[in-house]
Structure 1
Amino acid sequence: MSTPEFLTGTRLVRSTYAPEDVTYLLREIQAQFVSVEEKERLIQSGERHYGQLLSPEQPPRPEYQALFERALHEGAPQLARHVAGLARVVHEEVRIRRRVNSAIVLVSLARGGTPIGVLVTRALRSLYGEEVHHYGVSIVRDHGIDGVALDFIRARHTDGSVIFLDGWTGKGVIAAELRRSVKTYNATRGSALQGELFVVSDPGGAAARCATRLDYLVPNAMLGATVAGLVSRTVLPGPAGDLHGSAFLAQLAAHDVTRHFVDTVSLHFPGQAPPEGNRLSGQDVYKAAQTFLHDVQHHAGPRPVNHVKPGVGEATRVLLRRAPEVLILRDPHAPEVQHLLSLAQERQVPVQVWPGVMPYSACALIRSVEPDP
């Protein structure tokens, strides 16, 4: 099918994924970077939204890259089982929804969800022989999912075949943003997309479907562009009618492990589908997560809820690209937090241990930046 007229002339961002693994529905931009400190000041002062700002990404230190390789080697079998379990949930869900034998359409939330989307795509093909189309699409807190990208997808596929994927949940902000923005999109387009989020790890109890509630290290959380096709974090569009944007970070090509990651995990897919993944409501998990957020306000002092980032994946993002105040761990000896300790040492971030209190393995707090006088 030809490209819809509204995307004619749009240059989609390049990536180092194989073309059959994913299509990023992101407009390629020339990145204009600001430092982490300046970004934090602009965000916290309200001058700019985080979805308008990018900070430069540096190559990982050799020691940190070695931690990633170790986490990938040791964690690939577990992640492969969970991906296969999530693929089964997706397969069953789409079988219920669709009226005809149409292809499955995976929409991963770029960019953190895209490596998982690639893995689920491969699992659906190898375990079920499914025809799968996979798109990486931007979603930005307070602004929702990219409606232009959804227009593109709906011009090619049926609504009932679309499944939204991410890697993990933290507080559940993105899951709520997805539900809200898809509901708004449906109301304006007369469409029937289901804004439920499917994830591998759901320690926040916020996703509709997951493979596990365990807060563990999904290895791609340790890196940024170098495990996501050399694609930057996504940013909001300029003129109305544009796709959300992203930059191709060619300067990091020597450190790219995108295909290495997905190829390594794919080798561990089971020969047959495992039992169906976790379909529980997650209400008890969600309540425990909300109680913990209140505990943080009590023990660490009042702060905006957006400055509290629970879960291994979210804590990793804070230490990589925000201004962290403190790292809180349930067990500093747990294997899933060793990379966090390395990052905290590198950035001189204090570490606190809250044993027996946390439903998460880790939580990072963002430091409040003093406004300019």
Structure 2
Amino acid sequence: MGSYPAEDVTFLLKDLSDVMEERGTEDREEAIQSGVHYSEMLPIEYKPTPEYMEVYHQSLEEYAGKLAIAVGVVAEEIVSKKGRDIVLVSLARAGTPIGILIKKYLSFAFQLNVPHYSVSIIRGKGLDEQAMRYILEDHPDKEIQFIDGWTGKGAITHELTKACKLLNEKYGVTVDDSLAVLADPGYCVDIYGTREDFLIPSACLNSTVSGLVSRTVHNTKFIKPDDFHGAKYYQHLEGEDVSNDFIQRVISEFPKKEQGIKEQLHKIRSEHTEPSWIGLENIKQIQQEFSIPDINHIKPGVGETTRVLLRRVPWKILVQDKNDPRLKHIMLLAKDRSVPIEEYKNMSYTCCGLIKTIRS
């Protein structure tokens, strides 16, 4: 599955391309707020406008070097903590391009060719147990390193910890639950490239920068107990796929950024603090100030705010600074969908998306 070369990643997902249909944004939001789990449905994929694609390409040019440094730092930290005998397990789908970049850096800097899988993790349902069994059976003596793009309020970090504990107890294994991300504005992981909430350009797009794979699905109508979690392959978007271009653009920066990686690595190691979960404290404060009944309707950080604008029903967007150049694509999407933007200074994130409450 997916438009990446087979040597870059193996998606451990059941292909639902021919059997599952997407639901409209309003219809899906109403279903979610009525109690249907978000993973049982797929949203209609946002088809970017030419203007929006221009913002994506501009942001990629602007941030490719910074992204390469973050990738290098994370990869160096993984080797430092886990050694060379590792398997990369990225969390589909936002983690997939990041996992590929880390795999490419390990080849570039360490001449390592490590296995890389992409698996599903779903809030409230956990990690794909069948996929993890497959990896553990294939690589019984290797250290697993989970990878994602960024942290929001840390829900997936909690989900991963809980899932690994269950996995270890059930199968008598010792899977480490540590998560490596490029950006950790939520202050909830130990391995990160930066704690700045900067724009990871792949967050601007959905499947067209993630191997044309949908978000993951767990609907018992399609997924039997022994199946992997599911996803769709969007063949109709092949003409707009920039997944491999994104990878090539970032890895072209590796040779130029070796000094930058060393400097950032030194900075992170000298200034490192344990996860404080300050982001979650900010979210609780926002929940109280804006009287939001469900904390899951608050999506912090550039990546999560982008997702709210692309596939949920937004109420409003909070930004630290309306003139922040990192938020150009957020401003454009909000304008396209007539979503109000409000300045809110007191948070560790550059922005935060608030989902509209449809049902009380």
Task: Check conservation: 2:15, 2:233, Cα contact below 8 A.
Answer: yes
Matches within 5 A, 1:22-101: 22-29=9-16, 30=18, 31-46=20-35, 48-95=36-83
Deviation of the 1:33 alpha carbon? 1.0
Paired-residue identity, %: 38
Matches within 5 A, 1:208-287: 208-236=190-218, 238-270=223-255, 272=258, 274-275=262-263, 276=265, 278=268, 280-284=272-276, 286-287=277-278
> Residue 191 of structure 1: which of 163, 170, 173 is its match?
173
Moved more, 51-60 or 337-346: 51-60
Aligned to 1:312: 302
Aligned to 1:294: 284
> Residue 147 of structure 2: which of 165, 174, 184 is its match?
165
Task: Check conservation: 1:344, 1:350, Cα contact below 8 A.
Answer: yes
Decide whether aligned partners of structure 1 residues 159 and 309 sit closer, same or farther in structure 2, where only a CA change above 3 A counts: farther
Deviation of the 1:281 alpha carbon? 3.8
Cα distance in structure 2, aligned partners of 1:297 and 1:122: 40
Aligned to 1:6: none
Decide whether aligned partners of structure 1 residues 282 and 367 sit closer, same or farther in structure 2, where only a CA change above 3 A counts: farther
Task: Check conservation: 1:159, 1:193, Cα contact below 8 A.
Answer: no
Aligned to 2:87: 105
> Residue 184 of structure 2: which of 202, 212, 224 is its match?
202
Aligned to 1:120: 102
Task: Check conservation: 1:81, 1:270, Cα contact below 8 A.
Answer: no
- SS of residue in 2 equivalent to 1:252: helix
2:357 is the alignment partner of 1:365: no
TM-score (norm 1): 0.90
Task: Check conservation: 1:160, 1:193, Cα contact below 8 A.
Answer: no
Cα distance in structure 1, aligned partners of 2:87 and 2:262: 22
Decide whether aligned partners of structure 1 residues 159 and 45 sit closer, same or farther in structure 2, where only a CA change above 3 A counts: farther
Q: What are the Cα deviations for residues 264-292 of structure 1, in whole angstroms up to 9, with x where unaligned?
A: 000001464625374634444x23x2331
Task: Check conservation: 2:23, 2:43, Cα contact below 8 A.
Answer: yes
Deviation of the 1:78 alpha carbon? 0.3
Q: What are the Cα deviations for residues 227-254 of structure 1, in whole angstroms up to 9, with x where unaligned?
A: 0010000001521111000000011111
Q: Aligned letter for 2:30?
A: R
Deviation of the 1:313 alpha carbon? 0.5
Task: Check conservation: 2:91, 2:148, Cα contact below 8 A.
Answer: yes
Aligned to 1:4: none
Cα distance in structure 2, aligned partners of 1:311 and 1:164: 20
Unmatched segments (≥5 aa) in structure 2: none
Task: Check conservation: 1:225, 1:231, Cα contact below 8 A.
Answer: yes
Task: Check conservation: 1:84, 1:270, Cα contact below 8 A.
Answer: no
Aligned to 2:137: 155
- SS of residue in 1 equivalent to 2:262: coil
- SS of residue in 2 equivalent to 1:274: helix
Cα distance in structure 2, aligned partners of 1:151 and 1:66: 42
Task: Check conservation: 2:46, 2:206, Cα contact below 8 A.
Answer: no
Cα distance in structure 1, aligned partners of 2:68 and 2:79: 16
Runs of 4+ with deviation above 6 angstroms: none
Cα distance in structure 1, aligned partners of 2:200 and 2:175: 28
Task: Check conservation: 1:160, 1:194, Cα contact below 8 A.
Answer: no
Deviation of the 1:359 alpha carbon? 1.2
Task: Check conservation: 2:284, 2:295, Cα contact below 8 A.
Answer: no
- SS of residue in 1 equivalent to 2:115: strand
2:111 is the alignment partner of 1:129: yes
Task: Check conservation: 2:208, 2:243, Cα contact below 8 A.
Answer: yes
Q: Aligned letter for 1:364?
A: G
Task: Check conservation: 1:77, 1:265, Cα contact below 8 A.
Answer: yes
Deviation of the 1:336 alpha carbon? 1.2
Q: Aligned letter for 2:147?
A: L
Cα distance in structure 2, aligned partners of 1:208 and 1:78: 19
Cα distance in structure 2, aligned partners of 1:140 and 1:370: 23
TM-score (norm 2): 0.93
Q: Aligned letter for 1:259?
A: N
Q: Cα RMSD over matched residues?
A: 1.5
Cα distance in structure 1, aligned partners of 2:90 and 2:281: 29
Deviation of the 1:159 alpha carbon? 5.3
Q: Aligned letter for 1:80?
A: A
Aligned to 2:320: 330
Cα distance in structure 2, aligned partners of 1:347 and 1:40: 15
Deviation of the 1:167 alpha carbon? 0.5
Deviation of the 1:38 alpha carbon? 1.1
Cα distance in structure 2, aligned partners of 1:127 and 1:297: 44
Q: Aligned letter for 1:44?
A: Q
Q: Aligned letter for 2:288?
A: H
